[in-house]
Amino acid sequence: MKSKVFFTKEITPEKLIEIYEKLGVDLPGKVGVKVSTGEDGAKGYLKADLIAPLVKKLNGTIIECNTAYPGERTTTEEHLKVAEKHGFTSFADVDIMDSTGEFKIPVHNGKHLEYDLIGENFENYDSILNLAHGKGHMMGGFGANLKNQSIGIASRNGKAYIHSCGHTEDPDACWSDKHEQIDFIESMAEAATAVADYLKENNKPIVYITVANAISVDCDCDANQGDPVIGDIGIFASMDPVANDQAFLDAIWKTKEDGTKEIEERIDSRKGRHITEYAESLGLGSTDYELIEI
């Protein structure tokens, strides 16, 4: 059975709310909204004026974890300053989930990871909105819901564990670890699946939205993020993160702009498209989907 992916070309606060409502799921209790706060100097992160109305509607808390790479979001104190600078604290509380610690969740049937290390405060949320910005990525090829659920929810040490494909939890050591690129892509898929399994086992719903705008070849974690290489595409929403990421990827390949080859090359040079097929093999979702335009 094909997964449903809702899509709108219109990127506005009103359409963001409408496409969330199309999913037909009420997120109960304390809602965590996982969104990248963006590195200081980045340009493409999702802006407050776009996402604030939906976050307020859900009475949501912006949830993040500190970065493994050296930057302005490595420590909780500095991370919160960036979140404030980028406007997130103007409309919601911001919880840096690994500020108090981390905990392990199991990875089932993984080839690379034995477990996933996620921010301790993740336990405090009853439901989750995975609100991703679709763009390129220096290491993963691209970033959308799967990356947002793996690297994004992992603690600082957990990020190191994923980046090193299960070899080390040390953020200082992970960058010199030797592994195949495809192993990193698969490690991200394993971590994303572990989070989904944890939520399912604890009866905590999660929904997935990707906003495909300001599409640079670089991630919002890059302080020197380049300008967009193709035009805005739209908003994708689904209950299935694999289908949602696949729909975003397919939409990129359908663009025929001057910069299309740049973003395609970034994704394929990092074996980025493998993440959806591997996540599908782990049972996280399906690459077969029905696109429903609203």
Q: At what angle do helices 13-22 and 48-57 cross, to 10 degrees?
A: 40
pLDDT tens profile 139-190: 999 999 999 999 999 999 999 999 999 999 999 999 999 999 999 999 999 9
Question: Quick check: pTM over 0.95?
Answer: yes
pLDDT of residue 1: 82
- Rounded CA-CA distance 50/91 in Å is 11
Q: Got the DSSP string for 90-115? A: GTS-EEEGGGS-EEEEE-SS-SS-SE
Give phi and psi for 133, each to the nearest 5.
-100, 120
Residue 214 falls in which region: left (phi positive, over 0), alpha (psi -120 to 50) or beta = left
The domain of 209 spans: 3-293
pLDDT of residue 128: 98
Please tell me the total count of domains within the chain. Answer: 1
- Rounded CA-CA distance 65/224 in Å is 21
CATH code, domain carrying 32? 3.40.50
- Rounded CA-CA distance 130/60 in Å is 12
Report whether 214 contacts 208 (CB < 8 A): no
pLDDT tens profile 22-74: 999 999 999 999 999 999 999 999 999 999 999 999 999 999 999 999 889 99
